[in-house]
Copies of this chain bind each other. A is one copy, B any other.
Amino acid sequence: MTQGITYTNCVGEALDSTLSNIDHNKTFVVADENTARLVVTRLGSNALAEAPVITISAGEESKNLKTLAHVWTQLSDLGATRNSIIVNVGGGMVTDLGGFAAATFKRGIRFINCPTSLLAAVDASVGGKTGIDFNGLKNEIGAFTMPQQTIISSCFIDTLPQPEIKAGYAEMLKHALLHSHDRFTQLLKTDFNNPFNTHAFLKMIEQSVAIKLHYVDSDPLEAGTRRALNLGHTVAHAFESLALKRGKAIRHGYAVIWGLITETYLSHKLFGFPSADLYALAQFAIEHYGAFHITCDDYETLISFMTHDKKSQNGEINCVLLSQCGSPHYDAAITTDLMEAAFDVYRDLMHI
């Protein structure tokens, strides 16, 4: 379960080189309707110039069985065989769904991911989690299947609007928290208002992905240590579900930073995580992300979401917590009272 990752400024060259090293008969591109229009020209890949593009609807709400069946049908009708390759070009929705289509077509064909968002580059497109939403639940159906290669290119990252960068950056902060205090404080120095140096930022992405892969390699099927990567996500998913219930979705990355604040407070309370680091994170969030507004009246709903989470065992609220940067504790069970206290502190820190 190892996977190759290429960091490049020239996605087309990297794709051509990767494809020329893999024995295969046909190549198919999976992209959403927004990406598909531009994909061939932007990629600049000779190998893909003639490849059929399987286009799917954009947006998380299209990450469903209907879209999956469409990709399967197209592959079947266009004559894909076990020796064919899929190249997924897009954000996490495309790499998740396209990866799962590949994992299950004729019992599994190979695929390459070309993430076009920062969130997909540092998270969804690496580590082998593929899947679709089903029965109202995120990633309810899927598989652990490694891409043949993930090609992370600054040519996509460079053009992203600031909120897209920030969304991915929250997962990078999570990785830094799981790595070391040095890495964490280094990431807090970023000012999104100053343009990034492309080369330096690609290096930061590489370091961040390396942290994720360290946890993935130690436990590819998420039976133990890999669960550290859920840091911040118990609360983040509850915030996202509440936002959906209110009829106004929030970006996953933004939910992650707000989740990290709440869960580092729990870490402080239960495992002595340094409060100075918690305050620094909250300050960074206020400055660059703003806050997700909740009141006491939302607590019951949030807690209900958390007890129904995939990570919950027997209706308890489970979180990954930290005693300090780089030292995760697994399956901490959180009482309702303590979670409500954590929401109080979150609101206090975010001035809401």
Where the two chains meet, the residues of A that have a C-beta atom closer than 8 Å to any C-beta of B are 25, 65, 69, 72-73, 76-77, 81-83, 103-108, 129-131, 134-135, 137, 139-144, 221-222, 310, 313-314
Contact = CB atoms under 8 A, between A and B. Distances in A.
A106 B135 CA distance: 12
A72 B107 contact: no
B143 A107 contact: yes
B140 A105 contact: yes
Given A25-B314, A143-B143, A310-B82, A135 B104 contact: no
Dominant secondary structure at the A interface: mixed
Contacts of A142: 104, 106-107
How many copies, total?
Answer: 2
A81 B107 CA distance: 24
A76 B135 contact: yes
Contacts of A65: 65, 69
Contact of A107 (B69, B73, B105, B144): B144
A143 B106 CA distance: 8
A125 B169 CA distance: 46
A221 B76 CA distance: 20
A140 B76 CA distance: 8
Contacts of A131: 107
13 contacts: A65-B65, A72-B135, A72-B141, A77-B135, A81-B313, A82-B310, A105-B141, A106-B142, A107-B129, A107-B222, A108-B143, A108-B144, A108-B221
B104 A141 contact: yes
A332 B32 CA distance: 41
A143 B102 CA distance: 10
Name the residue in A77, A108, A141, A143 with the highest tally of chain B Cβ atoms < 10 Å from its Cβ.
A141
Contact of A137 (B25, B76, B103): B76
Contacts of A129: 107
A155 B82 CA distance: 38
A104 B104 CA distance: 9
A143 B107 CA distance: 4
A143 B103 contact: yes
Contacts of A103: 143
Nearest to A139: B107
